[in-house]
Structure 1
């Protein structure tokens, strides 16, 4: 499988390349015109990387590198909240699906890479998981029609949209703090080039904590499908190449269990989606 494109670091240097059996094929040294995958996405050159990796040997064997978030420094990371029917029902407010989607933003620093620990901060012990699929915008635009929206996607990746539950209720109306603690979430492991609407329209998405399935649903049940998300968001802001939309999590987060169960150091969280892979992270306390 040579269509997994990742950002990684080794010996103090940052690279991007293609994931191969046994390690990574670094390609960034060959494409200095594109310093990071954000510029590769902007140039529409993900497929060029896939082709360039063919027949090349591994440059960085397994265990010699660390995964980073795939797209460094995107201008925007916009997250869609309460986007599955069972999630809406969790609020027990007697209301059907809202007319418009709930949105909030996250900062790149709030995410870490694959196989690196989520950080439970000193300020709270209520770190929770949210497994999601994230779409990376390839072709920017404003006022994008629904029927053209999927054509603006460059790639897919996975997200653990880690949340400090008590900090999303620190004021009358906000979630920003609880969604943006440093390294409280994860993104990756890699980008999968978007080639077919079937990659996102009805895909199984699961979350496991220490091997136990906690979340399990399909994107076909989203109240606001990905095409609607792109169209709606582009109504009020210009989407740019490299922007990321985190598309919503199913029911089953730890805060909704009875009693609630939050993440602790030593836990292992795995987010999996068909056709994308598995995003895996442990948990550690802030030092």
Structure 2
């Protein structure tokens, strides 16, 4: 099942499912609420979509699948080739940092190049949405916690990312965390999201190409390791890391500019597209 969060006809946000080019409304519930309640997402959609209003996907505004997740935990340096192009040694423990909901944007929304820096960079990644959580989750049970998968572009303002040892500021500028277009339930995805081609394109040119099997810490390991310290909850999101090819590591640097089109495509999960726009000047 492919869940979407959308608005249409000037109405407030709705939950829906995408099939082909048609979005069927399921009402005003949120994925956050359904996941917190332990709802069976397949049964929920099947029970409601026959009576739901239908829209053409091109006629709706697609929002992030979850707009208010409890936690967004991002993983850095999770592909060896990306670590090699960075100024860091490969760590033996996942490099974790938070993203905040105020940074999130949806499919086709503008990704904002901030006024204070011209160093906006792309990072195509697979996002993992949890359907349940806990503490000290055994690795052999970790994938049972996954509700589904999505696509993420971890837009990074490099100048600010490297102002201090902690990366948080450079990873949380408003309008830089693209998420979507759908949540694909885990029954439609290979176990752990393994074996999926990941490709990022800037203005149609491939700038990142990898496979999710190349991750150093796979999805099950990440869930188990994070839960050693942090209680994971239904609706939390783990953004699992980016492969090599980032613009900042190139010579000359490839920095996104106003009008650039960035696409992240993950096999079976869809294409997340955003146009880069300069932040409006202060008034």
- Which interval holds the TM-score relative to the shorter structure? over 0.9
The answer to whether the 8 Å contact 1:25/1:53 transfers is: no
Note the alpha carbon deviations across 1:216-250, whole angstroms, 9 max, x for none: 11111111111111011111110000000000000
Count of aligned pairs: 277
Mean alpha-carbon deviation: is it higher for 98-107 or for 5-14? Answer: 5-14
TM-score with structure 2 setting the length: 0.93
**Equivalent residue number for residue 169 of structure 1:** 162
Note the alpha carbon deviations across 1:108-138, whole angstroms, 9 max, x for none: 1111000111011111111100000000010
**Equivalent residue number for residue 107 of structure 1:** 100
User: Is residue 2:33 matched to residue 1:39?
Assistant: yes
User: Is residue 2:72 matched to residue 1:77?
Assistant: yes
**Equivalent residue number for residue 194 of structure 1:** 186
2:176 corresponds, among 175, 184, 193, to: 184
Gaps of 5+ in 2: none
User: Is residue 2:58 matched to residue 1:59?
Assistant: no
TM-score with structure 1 setting the length: 0.91
Q: SS where residue 27 of structure 1 aligns?
A: strand
Gaps of 5+ in 1: 30-34
Please give the alpha-carbon distance, in whole angstroms, between the structure 2 residues aligned to 1:92 and 1:60: 47
**Equivalent residue number for residue 89 of structure 1:** 84
Q: CA deviation at 1:54?
A: 5.2
Q: SS where residue 198 of structure 2 aligns?
A: strand
2:132 corresponds, among 128, 139, 142, to: 139
Please give the alpha-carbon distance, in whole angstroms, between the structure 2 residues aligned to 1:36 and 1:188: 15
Q: CA deviation at 1:202?
A: 1.9
Note the alpha carbon deviations across 1:262-285, whole angstroms, 9 max, x for none: 101111111111111111111111
Q: CA deviation at 1:44?
A: 2.9
Q: CA deviation at 1:198?
A: 3.4
**Equivalent residue number for residue 8 of structure 1:** 6
Over aligned residue pairs, what C-alpha RMSD do you find? 1.7
The answer to whether the 8 Å contact 1:67/1:189 transfers is: yes
**Equivalent residue number for residue 245 of structure 1:** 238
Q: SS where residue 59 of structure 2 aligns?
A: coil
Q: CA deviation at 1:197?
A: 4.2
Please give the alpha-carbon distance, in whole angstroms, between the structure 2 residues aligned to 1:283 and 1:92: 26
Please give the alpha-carbon distance, in whole angstroms, between the structure 1 residues aligned to 2:25 and 2:86: 46
**Equivalent residue number for residue 234 of structure 1:** 227
Q: CA deviation at 1:20?
A: 3.0
Please give the alpha-carbon distance, in whole angstroms, between the structure 1 residues aligned to 2:20 and 2:266: 20
Please give the alpha-carbon distance, in whole angstroms, between the structure 2 residues aligned to 1:192 and 1:64: 21
Q: SS where residue 13 of structure 1 aligns?
A: coil
